Amino acid sequence: VDTPVMGQLRVRINGVLGIDRSSGRIIGVAEKAELLPAELVSAWTGQSVDSKAIETIQLTADQFLMPGLIDTHTHAPQFSFLGIGHDLPLMDWLNKYTFKHESEFKDANLARKFYKDVIKRVVRNGVTFAAYYGTIHFDSNCVLADIIREIGQRAYVGKVCMDANSPAYYSESTEASLRDTEEFVKKVLGSQAEEANKQQSRLVTPIITPRFAPSCTHECMAGLGALAEKYQLPIQSHLCENPSEIEYAKSCFPDSPSYAHIYHQRGLLNSRTIMAHCVHMSDAEIALMRETKASVSHCPNSNLSLSSGIADIRRFIAEGIPVGLGTDVGGGYTPSILDAMRMAAVSNRALIAFRRDSGVQSAPGSKDTPLEAAEALYLATQGGARVMTMDEHLGSLDANKLFDALVVDMSTPNSPVPSIEATPAVRDAACPIEAWKMRIEQFVFLADDRNISRVYVGGKLIHTS
Ligand code: GUN
Ligand code: FE
């Protein structure tokens, strides 16, 4: 099951997929299992193979294979206050909980213990690739990158930069911010070179991370823009999350025509940039995102939990801006991208209902149609891959893509998804493809980590439930 384009659910019933263990890539996919495995491998690779060299895994009738889930925005240290303080608006929440708890990662020993559980938890939820914020601390960020590599998840890891308007106990000098960022980049890229020698696909990549415009000086952001250019790195930050935050950002940079322009003027808005939230965007800001080919990380749980608002993702998509899903833990209360899918669907419907009831027209180019389960699945997989600029390598089950994938089991013990027998709509469906479509809707709306039975990254099994 996959979604190579938005709106298309591709189900290959009785399909067969081949993986090359040494490269971790998909070598081919067949719609029906009519040939023997060795014959299929020969057809895909043009080489004859010894059937003894092939290991086969058979799925049950209620299991399926799908691309791994991609979390385009989350904060590893914020698992330390998960589910707490969501009644506060963004700026108060940052000042009361976030900075205080992140500052504790000054202690790298704490990071070692804590981050291990965090990454295991994220992987258990089926996330094969995540863009993480760490903290401002060099040592703890290195620990985070090491743990991710040990566990085998794919990730972007960012050393958070904060050299302005931040509490004394959790801030850094401009010089330290830029120096530690470059050191972190070199260290992670160095470890990556070792990985390459082992012929594995790259797992951890550094990402340039100004926390958000108000917590950085002009010099810091301009320096980060230069580093992103020098090392051709991805960039992540927060944009237009909450009205007070937007006013605050503009007051810090009165010469910028908009919040988005603050980043753009400092070399931080380009095709490798992921901007989280984008809830309250002006037309000019949307145009700037489109022109610079920057991407949006849609974080519906966080946007609802912190009363930030509802992002109009239909409009971004209509404008051709790539959109993926983010959990934004701890603004969001769960690391589950399955939850992000349903929150994306439900918050989109809330926006439609609000507009209908208040007589507000949808924006030009946007349409007020409910986001379907298959569209949510696209945003969580191929859409996320596009946001992370890895769409050539990830996001669907196609030949040559890296095998970052999940085996989903819809009938595990205590499954939150009812059995087929208990779901007459599925049991009595007109044809198998109709039954699968409904089963996938149930997956999107009901499943959780109990249904994620195996997690693969780069062809390697990294989690079994
Ligand atoms: N803006 C600046 N920092 C943060 C953060 O940690 N979380 C969220 N949701 N927004 C932010
Ligand atoms: Fe965030």
129: number of CA atoms within 13 Å, CB side?
32
* Inside any domain, residue 9: no
Its ipTM equals: 0.99
DSSP 318-387: HTT--EEE---BTTBS---HHHHHHHHHHHHHHHHHHHHHHTPPPPTT----PPPHHHHHHHHTHHHHHH
Ligand nearest to the CA of 73: 2
Among 82, 94, 302, residue to substitute to test ligand 1 (most atoms within 8 Å of Cβ): 94
Q: Is the alpha carbon torsion for 267, 288, 393, 133 positive or negative?
A: positive
Per-residue model confidence (pLDDT) at position 239 = 98
* Inside any domain, residue 1: no
The answer to whether the beta carbons of residues 3 and 11 sit under 8 Å apart is: no
Cα–Cα distance between 339 and 107 in angstroms, integer? 32
- Strand ranges in 152-309 using DSSP code E only, listed in sequence order: 154-158, 160-161, 204-206, 209-210, 235-239, 273-277, 295-298
CATH code of the domain containing 136 = 3.20.20.140
Phi, psi angles (nearest 5°) of residue 114: -70, -45
Rg (CA), the chain: 22
Cα–Cα distance between 415 and 411 in angstroms, integer? 6
Nearest-atom number in ligand 1 for the CA of 212 is 2
Select from 319, 352, 387 the last residue of a domain. 387
Per-residue model confidence (pLDDT) at position 395 = 98
CATH code of the domain containing 31 = 2.30.40.10
For residue 327 and ligand 1, the question of a CB distance below 6 A is answered with: no
For residue 328 and ligand 1, the question of a CB distance below 6 A is answered with: yes
* Inside any domain, residue 286: yes
pTM listed for this prediction: 0.97
Based on the fold, state whether residues 310 and 173 are members of the same structural domain: yes
Based on the fold, state whether residues 166 and 176 are members of the same structural domain: yes
Axis crossing angle, helix 138-151 with helix 174-197, rounded to the nearest 10: 20
Based on the fold, state whether residues 63 and 73 are members of the same structural domain: no
Rounding to the nearest 10 degrees, give the CA dihedral for residues 79, 82, 85, 86: 110
Residue 102: name the closest of 142, 162, 33 by CA. 162
* Count of structural domains within the chain: 2
Based on the fold, state whether residues 329 and 364 are members of the same structural domain: yes
Based on the fold, state whether residues 381 and 454 are members of the same structural domain: no
For residue 238 and ligand 1, the question of a CB distance below 6 A is answered with: yes
Residue 204: name the closest of 149, 151, 150 by CA. 149
Helix (H) or strand (E) holding 263: helix 259-264
Based on the fold, state whether residues 193 and 164 are members of the same structural domain: yes
Based on the fold, state whether residues 172 and 99 are members of the same structural domain: yes
Based on the fold, state whether residues 80 and 208 are members of the same structural domain: yes
Helix (H) or strand (E) holding 20: strand 16-20
Helix (H) or strand (E) holding 452: strand 452-457
Based on the fold, state whether residues 145 and 227 are members of the same structural domain: yes
Ligand nearest to the CA of 74: 2
* Inside any domain, residue 238: yes
* Inside any domain, residue 303: yes
Per-residue model confidence (pLDDT) at position 421 = 92
Among 171, 211, 215, residue to substitute to test ligand 1 (most atoms within 8 Å of Cβ): 211
**Tokens 């050393």 label which residue?**
159
* Inside any domain, residue 34: yes
Per-residue model confidence (pLDDT) at position 361 = 87
Contacts of 204 (CB under 8 A, 6+ apart): 145, 148, 149, 154, 155, 156, 157, 188, 191, 192
Cα–Cα distance between 379 and 344 in angstroms, integer? 9
Based on the fold, state whether residues 423 and 326 are members of the same structural domain: no
Terminal alpha carbon distance of the chain: 20
Distances (CA, A) of 220 to 35, 186, 189, 434: 59, 18, 22, 54
- What string of pLDDT tens digits covers the 465 residues of the chain? 999 999 999 999 999 999 999 999 999 999 987 888 999 999 999 999 999 999 999 999 999 999 999 999 999 999 999 999 999 999 999 999 999 999 999 999 999 999 999 999 999 999 999 999 999 999 999 999 999 999 999 999 999 999 999 999 999 999 999 999 999 999 999 986 666 655 567 899 999 999 999 999 999 999 999 999 999 999 999 999 999 999 999 999 999 999 999 999 999 999 999 999 999 999 999 999 999 999 999 999 999 999 999 999 999 999 999 999 999 999 999 999 999 999 999 999 999 999 999 998 887 767 789 999 999 999 999 999 999 999 999 999 999 999 999 999 999 989 999 999 999 999 999 999 999 999 999 999 999 999 999 999 999 999 999
For residue 333 and ligand 1, the question of a CB distance below 6 A is answered with: no
Select from 364, 387, 410 the last residue of a domain. 387
Select from 387, 414, 433 the last residue of a domain. 387
Contacts of 191 (CB under 8 A, 6+ apart): 145, 146, 149, 204
* Inside any domain, residue 393: no
Nearest-atom number in ligand 1 for the CA of 214 is 2
Based on the fold, state whether residues 154 and 211 are members of the same structural domain: yes
* Inside any domain, residue 6: no
- Print the domain residue range for 119: 69-387
Cα–Cα distance between 336 and 418 in angstroms, integer? 20
Based on the fold, state whether residues 127 and 236 are members of the same structural domain: yes
State in Å: Cα 214 to ligand 2 middle.
14
